[in-house]
Amino acid sequence: MQILKDRIVRDGRVAPGGVLKVDSFLNHQIDIELYNEIGKEFKRIFSDIPVTKILTIEASGIGIACIAAQYFKVPVIFAKKAKTKNIDGSVFTSKVESFTHGKTYDIMVSAKFISPDDKILIIDDFLANGKAVLGLLDIVKSAGAEATGVGIVIEKGFQEGGKMIRELGINLHSLAIINEMDDEGNITFGN
């Protein structure tokens, strides 16, 4: 998605430790027009698969999933990273290690929101080591539902997550795949 790649080059910043900072337009301050184009692109890419719900993980994936859901005309569910008082009844859980935060979370989704009849499209902002996607896939499997696709805004192609997810036979599409980036801000995209 060229508009996204151009925005990454123009406004993204590479921070030490292999962190791509896109907080000025994607995951802190949000460019709604860009989000809208991202939502349209996910609908175009996944238009031939059944989708009854979109699943993401808090927090940065929620906005993207909500915009995309408008085009699919389905609800969004997000996995919470902490048990709260408003989650009642049984839950589906999985452990997820966050590359950015360097922490492991017990993510959860209330069992009342995913059924075996659901066809789930997973959407998230980044794919690095693949732990968040694997955790979400685990929740879908625990619910007896089907993951029909995974849509990622930015994939770090130089880390193992994308390869690992694809080797599982998952229908994974990333809008921008970064093959290389360095501390000087040079970014090379792949296909």
Mean pLDDT of 31-60: 97
d(C-alpha 86, C-alpha 84), whole Å: 5
Q: Which range marks the domain in which residue 81 is found?
A: 2-183
For residue 126, the surrounding DSSP H or E stretch is: strand 119-127
Give the pLDDT of residue 87: 73
pTM: 0.94
Number of domains in the chain: 1
**Predicted confidence (pLDDT) per residue in 93-143, tens digit:** 999 887 666 788 899 999 999 999 999 999 999 999 999 999 999 999 999
- Sheet bearing 119-127, strands edge to edge: 76-79, 53-57, 119-127, 146-156, 172-181, 187-189
| CA distances (Å), origin 9, targets 1, 76, 187 | 13, 30, 7
The answer as to whether 188 is a domain residue is no
Q: So what's the pLDDT on residue 31?
A: 97
* 13 in a structural domain: yes
Residue 133 makes CB contacts below 8 A (sequence gap 6+) with 122, 124, 127, 150, 152, 161, 165, 170, 172
Angle formed at CA 29 by CA 157 and CA 4, multiple of 5 degrees = 40
Q: Which residues contact 77 (CB under 8 A, 6 or more apart)?
A: 53, 54, 55, 56, 109, 113, 114
| CATH label of the domain that carries residue 108 | 3.40.50.2020
Q: Is residue 173 part of a domain?
A: yes
In a domain, 62, yes or no: yes
* 189 domain-assigned: no
Residue type (1 letter), 162: G
SS (HEC) of 11-79: HCEEECCCEEECCCCCCCCCCHHHHHHHHHHHHHHCCCCCCCEEEEECCHHHHHHHHHHHHHCCCEEEE
In a domain, residue 113? The reply is yes
pLDDT one-digit tens code per residue, 134-188: 999 999 999 999 999 999 999 999 999 999 999 999 999 999 999 999 888 889 9
Q: 190 lies in a domain?
A: no
Instruction: Report yes or no on 191 lying in a domain.
Output: no
| Integer CA distances (angstroms), 69 to 32, 124, 161, in order | 14, 13, 24
